[in-house]
Amino acid sequence: MNSPSQPSATDFVTRLARLGWRAEEITESFARSSGPGGQHVNKVSTAVTLRHGPSGVAVTVQDSRSQAMNRQLARERLLAALEEVRREEKAAQQAAREKIRRQNRPRPRGVKRRILESKKKRGAVKKLRGRVE
C-alpha cells in the first residue's frame, strides 16, 4: 500500500488523463548516473529520463541511488512541467480572446476627440506648405 507522500502509478495516469495526455505518449529511458553513490552508481542504470512526445517536454532525474525513487521523482517533475505547459497554453488563449475583445470595442469619446484634434493640426501644417508669400 502506498503512503500519501508517494503517489502510485495510477495517480500518475489519472493526472495525465486530467491534462488530456495518455501514458503511452511517454517514453522512458535509463542511463548510468554520475555523482556520489560509489560503485552502485557506476554499475546500475539509476538515472531516469522521461520524454513526452507530443509536447517535447523531457525530464532527467539522477538525485537518488535508487532507480525506483528517481523514476517517481521524474514522473512528479514531468507532471509539473506538463501542467505548466497547459497553464501557459490557457493563458495564451485567454490573452488572445482579450486582445480580440479590446480590438472590437469602440473607441472612447476622449480618445476619438484627441485623434481628430491631432488630424486637424496636421492638416493645418500641410495646408501652409504650398503657400508662398
pLDDT tens for residues 72-116?
899 889 989 988 988 999 999 999 999 999 999 999 999 999 999
* pLDDT value of position 6: 59
Do the Cβ atoms of 64 and 51 come closer than 8 Å? no
What share of the chain in percent tops pLDDT 70? 89
Name the phi and psi angles at 28, rounded to 5: -120, 130
Domain 9-129 has CATH 3.30.160.20: yes
- Three-state SS string across 50-116, please? EEECCCCEEEEECCCCCHHHHHHHHHHHHHHHHHHHHHHHHHHHHHHHHHHHHHHCCCCHHHHHHHH
Q: For residue 24, which of 54, 69, 3, 58 has the smallest C-alpha distance?
A: 54
**Domains of the chain by residue range:** 9-129
Q: Is the pLDDT of residue 2 over 50?
A: no
Name the residue type at position 15: R
Distance set, CA 21 to CA 74, 91, 102, 120 (Å): 16, 19, 33, 58
List the grid coordinates of 33: 548516473
pLDDT, averaged across the chain:
85
* pLDDT value of position 21: 81
